[in-house]
Chains A and B, each alone.
Chain A
Amino acid sequence: MNQIVLIVVLPLLAAFLVPIVARMSETLGAALGPLVMGVCLWITGTVAIESAGNAFAINIGGFLPPLGITFFVDRLALLFAFLTALLVLLLWPFQGEHRPREHALTLILAAASGGLALSGDLFNIYVFYELVSVASFGLVATGNRSAAPAVRYLILSGFGSVLALVGIALVYTQTGTLNLAHLSQLAPTQLINPIGLAAFALILLGVGVKAELFPVNTWVPEVYATAPNRVSALLAGLVSKLAALVILRLLVLVFAQEQALLVMLLLGLLGVITGELAAWRAQDMNRMLAYSSIGQLGMVFVAFSIPGETGVFAGLAIALHHLVVKPALFLLAARWGGALSGLAGAARGSLSGALLFTLFALSLVGVPPLPGFWAKLLLVMGLAEQVGPLYHFALAGILIATVVEANYLFRIVATLFRRDNPASPAPEKHSGSDIATAGIFGAGLIAAVLLLIPLSQSLKTIAQQTSDADAYRAVVTLVPTPTAPNWRPAAISGDTP
């Protein structure tokens, strides 16, 4: 089962081979990337079947943790590794102008995303996170006039990384280790304190830049409005979910304290409210989708702030639903990206596009048989079970946000099907590949409705396994280090020589 490491190694290797191969043979260079991602998909599938849902750990290079680097592979990690390969394959940028360069960056993004899903070491997570960042800066900058948003995104993300690094340094001064299993062993005695909370807040803000968390999401509308739509789809669909996954792991394993949950609840709720209201006011499709994505990610964070398995279950359901719906909407926005008022009667030009948009809009709002409804229901029921005014306030906030969401999405659907202005030229038709890919996402959504019961069962198992910190610790074998339990650097404890 060690071959799971290849989902990080192969794309990384291929990323640096693509420009060379493309120089020798253009077709081979263009085929290399999708081929590698296909292999990754196959590897993840076989490992998932082989491991039969049991978690296992891989020690890179044979060095045992906490000294070595661990890859922790459980159902959640495999699910996200699989989705990474699948989404990268579906959203492959084969139409771009600078093809080898885009292919290389996409492969780096895929490798680092796989690493984020698997890594069981805080610093390793930081390195993969930076790799995702750099690849996404490059991909954003491939847009026509997107250098300015890319550089603004880079500065915000760079400062976020600084904050995350400070958080990691605080964790290290407190515990002297960065292995997640080891940290979760030491956390009850050494991290459940104000310094631990500060470290969590810093890492949350740092990683939250990619996860579109409330105060650090100013890059979202401008980047999604100017970047190529397939890149926006990857960032909104995949990268934001992986950042949320990192925060979930840290929350379950290391920072399981009440104040940490409250911080997340507040920031998530602010994200929901601001995101949905801004989306309601937006006048063009791309930015409307960007703001709505901020709102949805806020909902994921609100769900993760519900303690225990319920929260993980609801959060994963919303995240996965958003992961299917938002990339498809961004693909549809490739030709409908302009002003919303210009879309009047667009259904005449492209009926299938309009029908798909309606399907995704209904699911995003949460109309009963569609998966979006069940995900929101889980969240609402989870919040209602909690005691405490803040949780009930969040419940009210989410329901109001849903009304706002319904208002702006249905307004667009109504515009699409309007008949009364034949004067204005209908917008361009979608390109075949865009509509086909969006159709695949739509088919996935319908399949999820039909397979609702088995899907929710397996998602519940994943949530159970993820929220069980004891099981995580049991899987990773730790070598007892002599200094580990009461390790303190001289500077903190003050035991000067």
Chain B
Amino acid sequence: MNLPSLDVSLDLILYTGAFGLIVIGAAGIVLARHLFRVILALAIAEAGANLLLVLSGYRWDAIAPILMGSESTAPMVDPVPQAMVLTAIVIGVGVQALAVGLAMQVKKTYGTLDMSAIRQRLEADIAGNAGIATTGSQDAPLGERPLPPVDAVPATPGSSTP
């Protein structure tokens, strides 16, 4: 991989890629409607952050930071970011597993994984428990508007169960 003439552009591509992954993840978290896709978007953003951390200590002309006992004087890649990325990956896996577990709970409670439907039901749930009307816009039409039953949630492309 030691191509001196390409180094700068390769670095540029990698850095752009890392930030691009984070942006894709952020967009996914904001835009996706299906809870599982949101969790995947979070995983993508984490991958971007990890890549950025690896890049922060990487050198193209260096060897892996492992002491083999021989007196090698070749420069080594900075091992600290790599250790940190390992930690971050492990944490990320744990959090994602927890997220999927909670998503199963959500599916059991509300019968849907559609983010906006979950949010609506959550609002109604909290208001119902507290014994108050659901807070909404003042321009909303008056009168009771019961939420559609669980089965009648309109199927959107993203809301089919995985």
Contact = CB atoms under 8 A, between A and B. Distances in A.
* Interface SS of A by simple majority: helix
Contacts of B153: none
Given A134-B95, A159-B26, A172-B57, A147 B109 contact: yes
Interface in B89-127: 91, 94-95, 98-99, 102-103, 105-106, 108-110, 118-119, 121-122, 125-127
A373 B121 CA distance: 40
A421 interface: no
Interface string A107-149: 0000000000000000100110010011001100100010111
Chain B, interface size category, equals 35 or more
Interface string A148-170: 11111011001101100110111
Contacts of B15: 491
A127 B125 CA distance: 34
Q: Pick from B49, B102, B125, B131 the residue with the most CB of A within 10 Å.
A: B102
Interface in B31-58: 35, 38-39, 42, 45-46, 48-50, 52-53, 55-58
A341 B132 CA distance: 9
A308 interface: no
A158 B95 contact: yes
Interface stretch (B80-88, B144-152, B154-162): B80-88
Given A155-B38, A162-B49, A284-B132, A494 B126 contact: no
Contacts of A287: 126, 130
Interface string A209-252: 00000000000001001100000000000000000000000000
A156 to B, nearest CB: 8
A169 B49 contact: yes
B94 A134 contact: yes
A338 interface: yes
B98 A154 contact: yes
Given A137-B102, A489-B58, A496 B132 contact: no
B45 A162 contact: yes
Interface string A256-300: 000000000000000000000000010111110000000000000
Contacts of A284: 126-127, 130-132
A337 B95 contact: no
Given A222-B122, A338-B131, A155 B52 contact: no
Interface residues of A, number: 51
Q: Pick from A137, A158, A159, A285 the residue with the most CB of B within 10 Å.
A: A158
A222 B126 contact: yes
Contacts of A490: 7, 59-61
Contacts of A149: 122
A178 B83 CA distance: 13
Given A134-B94, A148-B122, A169-B56, A158 B78 contact: no
Nearest to A122: B84
A15 B66 CA distance: 35
B56 A173 contact: yes
A341 B135 CA distance: 15
Contacts of B7: 490, 496-497
Contacts of B122: 148-149, 152, 222, 226
A396 interface: no
Contacts of B130: 225, 283-287, 337-339
A147 B102 contact: yes
Contacts of A494: 8
B134 to A, nearest CB: 10
A176 to B, nearest CB: 8
A224 to B, nearest CB: 10
A226 B126 contact: yes
B4 interface: yes
A19 interface: no
B70 interface: no
Contacts of B53: 165, 168-169, 172
Given A155-B39, A339-B132, A489 B56 contact: yes
A473 to B, nearest CB: 21
A438 to B, nearest CB: 20
A441 B121 CA distance: 35
A285 B4 CA distance: 64
A226 B106 CA distance: 14
Contact of B129 (A166, A283, A338): A338
Given A147-B102, A148-B106, A172-B57, A225 B126 contact: yes
A162 B43 CA distance: 10
Contacts of B48: 162
A349 interface: no
Contacts of A222: 122, 126
Given A155-B38, A166-B22, 19 more contacts: A134-B91, A137-B95, A137-B102, A149-B122, A151-B106, A152-B122, A154-B99, A155-B39, A155-B42, A158-B99, A166-B49, A169-B52, A169-B55, A225-B126, A226-B122, A284-B131, A490-B7, A497-B4, A497-B61
Sorted nearest first, the 10 A-B pairs with minimum C-beta distance are A147-B105, A284-B130, A151-B102, A497-B61, A165-B49, A173-B56, A169-B53, A339-B132, A283-B132, A496-B7
Interface of B: 2, 4, 7-8, 11, 15, 22, 25-26, 29, 35, 38-39, 42, 45-46, 48-50, 52-53, 55-61, 78, 80-81, 84, 87-88, 91, 94-95, 98-99, 102-103, 105-106, 108-110, 118-119, 121-122, 125-127, 129-133, 135
